[in-house]
């Protein structure tokens, strides 16, 4: 008789954003007259930039003609895209990453949940608290996290690194030594950034203790300050300890297009074995590449026109971020983030829990945000708003919140 | 100090088609004047049908306008596509599968390698021999297959079900009881089909012993005979024991577009737990949906025009299949497959091994096929040719092979 992967049964509740979706749908169904504004999930609202639309049309036409039809993609992704990434995201920033160290995928969510598969189940993971839930949940499913403590909402075998107002929402080096360290900067959910000097400390630490840093840089396009690194490979020594995960979802609005990539330097080894080889083997066996059309769309992101059009798009969202940040601050809220990231992290008023404030905002202001506790115990008492709405909706949402006079 | 997933290190050699690719590239580099014809990997060559191209252009335009832009897709896939599948692939064939039992993905390769994640590592798998390598390799990576015997090219904990000329390349019920049974019909690599009566025996067996059948029906569009089922849900009782995996790669030429789906009936349970819930959780945590544009392309496959255009495309490849089948038979080869599947399975001449024949064909006829041994020990002495080339190349390849006068 077959049996299930029992690790799945250990997972508490369902995926955070599924829960939010269900709550919002239920509210909307009960109140069809109310205009709900969603600043919860980090989904973009601006349409694809013209240069990307053009590139996709061209690629669709190619797929419709025998001479230019494309079947299975090369395993690591098309060279035209990997070259554009190596050139623009790395070489241009002084990082020595080559095209053949880049693996094209259908997004950073998939990569960040799949990457743990190439590591031993005995490995100990360290995550920030609060944290993007996918890192932990994918490790729970694999059986790497031990037992769940319902009271504390923590896993026995996970090292939690609190990110609180006291440390500017960037973690301290952990006391217990981890094997795999998940870092995400600019951070989801807190919107905090890390300086190059602080990140260098992490790289030095990882090299010293023999840990791998899984560095999620999905929000790098939102960096506005000079001392904040866009890539972990700006730090010395990162080639021997870091894997970087990148996304086109937020810099180019590809949440519904699906494209991302993972960088594994060939110097990153366990004994004689390159992690690059293991990930290549996983790609070859468990994946079949991103669509040709989508990879051409990704290439257009790096064209001169693409970079100009997307700079505007990022600026649009960052104008929202400023509006939220300043509006809530004026209204007396304690806020952070929003400067190098499209997320605003606010302290819930009057000691409300995150879910209490979620329900309150949904019902009183018809605004959807994300309870900080959904990202981990140290997120309790906080709340995330995203800057990915339209400007009009963002203004209206902030004004409605201000009108509540909490 | 971090450690690797040691199961990866147990994998012998690299993924079959990577090895073939490398051999062919090396040959082409050394002989740039030779025109190599590839009938090895099952990649299609016909362009996307006009109705699909049109649907994709329309979807690209939608993505370029704020009013019709689509961000993250619904977790199980868009309803328009799931409804079209439920209606055309299931209801029209008398199978009771509903839209909410269908999970849209980026292809059957990913699904067939990922599906094992929701099962216990203690579960025993049974596979046909020869077999599509992904089923076994994904289980090796997970740690479910025991130790590898280099001599026999088998894993200690895998139940192999020989598919040979003696049983018409369809497996007998195994002596040892498995938990998970991988079946692929029409079959890759042998091109064999299974009758509804034979498949019903498997469904009855699985229900009796408490096993799950993972039924890969990626090639169902090529079925030409009346007593061959297009879906396992044509069999009584399949809703309590079978998961079906489907692809758009071969019926609509989507190898470079990436779309597939998995069906998990809600009656398929372990105790009280629906497998549907576990797969939904995996989708929610480790996946982020197929692109909107690609899902619209999938919808077009089911339109009246789409079905007509794709019927022609399938007929084109099946004309190739007949040409290969008849040509090789005339030349004295022992051949099978090619009637309900786009693969021709031939016995290598003069007792050559599969790789010997591979090298021989590559060097003497500049034709690429796939050695049967790459699919498992019982594939030794056989060779696979695909019907997915252009008609002109297929004719030329067959004529070159005939000219060898083996």
User: Closest Cα partner for B232 from B245, B248, B222, B250?
Assistant: B245
CB pairs < 8 Å spanning A and B = 247
Residue of B nearest to A117 (CA): B5
| Mean pLDDT value across residues A372-377 | 92
Cα distance between the two ends of chain B: 57
Chain B, window 30-49: residues with a beta carbon less than 8 angstroms from a chain A beta carbon: 41, 43-48
User: Closest Cα partner for A238 from A262, A214, A258?
Assistant: A214
B117/B110 Cα distance (integer angstroms): 12
Residues 6+ apart with CB under 8 A from B8: A118, A278, A281, A282, B141
Residue of A nearest to B140 (CA): A285
Q: Compute the C-alpha angle B253/B259/B260, nearest 5°.
A: 105
Closest residue to B278, CB basis, from A4, A64, A118: A4
pLDDT the model gives residue B14: 65
pLDDT per residue as tens digits for the range A227-246: 999 999 999 999 999 999 99
Chain B, window 99-158: residues with a beta carbon less than 8 angstroms from a chain A beta carbon: 106-107, 109-110, 113-114, 117-123, 133-134, 137-138, 141
A131/A133 Cα distance (integer angstroms): 6
**H helical segments located in A115-180:** 133-142
Burial A354-374 (b: 16+ CB within 10 A, else e): bbebbebbbeebbbbbbbbbb
Burial A280-316 (b: 16+ CB within 10 A, else e): bbbbbbbbbbbbbbbbbbbbbbbbeebeebbeebbeb
pLDDT the model gives residue A406: 67
A23/B42 Cα distance (integer angstroms): 45
pTM: 0.96
| Mean pLDDT value across residues A94-112 | 97
CA of B126: how far to CAs of B156, B247, B259, in Å?
Answer: 12, 22, 26
pLDDT the model gives residue A13: 74
Which residues in B lie closer than 8 A to residue A134 (C-beta atoms)?
285-286
Tell me if chain B has a CB within 8 Å of the CB of A58: no
Residues 6+ apart with CB under 8 A from B318: B222, B224, B342, B387
Q: Compute the C-alpha angle A171/A212/A131, nearest 5°.
A: 40
Q: Do A66 and B53 touch (CB under 8 A)?
A: no
What is the DSSP annotation of A231-297? SGGGSTTGGGTEEEEEESTTTS--TTT--EEEE--TT-EETTEEHHHHHHHHHHHH-----HHHHHH
Answer yes or no: are the C-beta atoms of B185 and B191 closer than 8 Å: no
Closest residue to B284, CB basis, from A15, A71, A212: A15
CA of A9 vs chain B CAs: smallest distance (Å): 8
Give the range with max mean pLDDT: A34-43, A148-157, A313-322. Answer: A313-322
Q: Give chain B's count of helices (H) and strands (E).
A: 12, 17
Q: What is the mean pLDDT of each run of 10 residues along chain B (406 residues)?
A: 96 79 94 95 93 98 98 95 98 97 98 98 98 96 96 95 97 98 98 98 98 98 98 98 98 98 98 97 95 98 98 98 97 97 97 96 96 94 97 97 86
Cis peptide before A130 (omega within 30 of 0): yes
Answer yes or no: are the C-beta atoms of B110 and B279 closer than 8 Å: no
pLDDT the model gives residue B161: 98
pLDDT per residue as tens digits for the range A134-189: 999 999 999 999 999 998 999 999 999 999 999 999 999 999 999 999 999 999 99
Number of neighbouring beta carbons within 10 Å of residue A31: 13
**Residue B36, Cα to own-chain centre: how many angstroms?**
25
CA of B332: how far to CAs of B133, B340, B346, B364, B403, in Å?
Answer: 29, 22, 11, 18, 12
B389/A399 Cα distance (integer angstroms): 62
B18 vs A47, more confident: A47
Backbone angles phi, psi at A273, to 5 degrees: -90, 125
Closest residue to B137, CB basis, from A1, A65, A285: A285
Answer yes or no: are the C-beta atoms of A206 and A126 closer than 8 Å: no
Q: Do A64 and B48 touch (CB under 8 A)?
A: yes
Substitution target in B41, B60, B65, B270 with the highest count of A β-carbons within 10 Å is: B60
Closest residue to A69, CB basis, from B47, B64, B286: B47
Chain A, window 248-307: residues with a beta carbon less than 8 angstroms from a chain B beta carbon: 253, 255-258, 270, 273, 275, 278, 281-282, 284-294
Cis peptide before B130 (omega within 30 of 0): yes
Residues 6+ apart with CB under 8 A from B315: none
- Weakest-pLDDT range from A17-31, A286-300, B232-246, B352-366: A17-31
pLDDT per residue as tens digits for the range A257-272: 999 999 999 999 999 9
């Amino acid at each position: 008789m077959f049996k299930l992967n029992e690790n799945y049964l250990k997972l508490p509740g369902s995926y955070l954003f599924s829960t939010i979706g269900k709550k919002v749908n239920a509210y909307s169904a009960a109140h069809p007259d109310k205009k709900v504004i969603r600043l919860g999930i980090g989904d973009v609202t601006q349409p694809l930039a013209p240069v990307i639309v053009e590139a996709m049309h061209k690629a669709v036409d190619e797929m419709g003609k025998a001479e230019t039809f494309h079947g299975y993609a090369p395993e690591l992704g098309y060279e035209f895209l990997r070259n554009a990434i190596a050139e623009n995201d790395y070489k241009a920033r002084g990082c020595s990453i080559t095209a053949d160290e880049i693996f094209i995928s259908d997004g950073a969510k998939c990569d960040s949940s799949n990457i743990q598969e190439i590591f031993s189940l005995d490995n100990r993971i360290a995550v920030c608290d609060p944290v993007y839930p996918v890192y932990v949940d994918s490790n729970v499913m694999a059986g790497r996290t031990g037992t769940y403590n319902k009271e504390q909402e923590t896993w026995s075998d996970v090292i939690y690194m609190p990110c609180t107002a006291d440390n500017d929402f960037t973690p301290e080096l952990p006391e217990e030594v981890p094997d795999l360290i998940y870092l995400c900067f600019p951070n989801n959910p807190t919107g905090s950034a890390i300086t190059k000097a602080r990140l260098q400390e992490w790289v030095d630490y990882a090299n010293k203790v023999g840990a791998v840093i899984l560095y999620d840089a999905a929000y790098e396009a939102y960096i506005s300050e000079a001392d904040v690194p866009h890539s972990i490979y700006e730090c010395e020594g990162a080639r021997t300890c870091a894997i970087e995960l990148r996304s086109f979802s937020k810099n180019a609005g590809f949440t519904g297009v699906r494209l991302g990539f993972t960088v594994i330097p060939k110097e990153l080894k366990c004994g004689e074995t390159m992690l690059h080889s293991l990930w290549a083997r996983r790609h070859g066996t468990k994946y079949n590449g991103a669509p040709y059309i989508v990879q051409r769309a990704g290439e257009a992101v790096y064209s001169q026109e693409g970079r100009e059009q997307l700079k505007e798009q990022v600026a649009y969202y960052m104008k929202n971020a400023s509006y939220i940040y300043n509006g809530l601050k004026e209204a007396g809220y304690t806020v952070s983030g929003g400067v190098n990231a499209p997320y605003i992290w606010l302290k819930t008023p009057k000691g409300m829990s995150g879910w209490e404030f979620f329900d309150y905002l949904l019902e009183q202001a018809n605004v959807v945000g994300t309870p900080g506790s959904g990202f981990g115990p140290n997120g309790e008492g906080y709340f995330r708003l995203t800057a990915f709405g339209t400007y009009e909706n963002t203004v209206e949402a902030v004004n409605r919140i201000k009108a509540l006079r909490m």
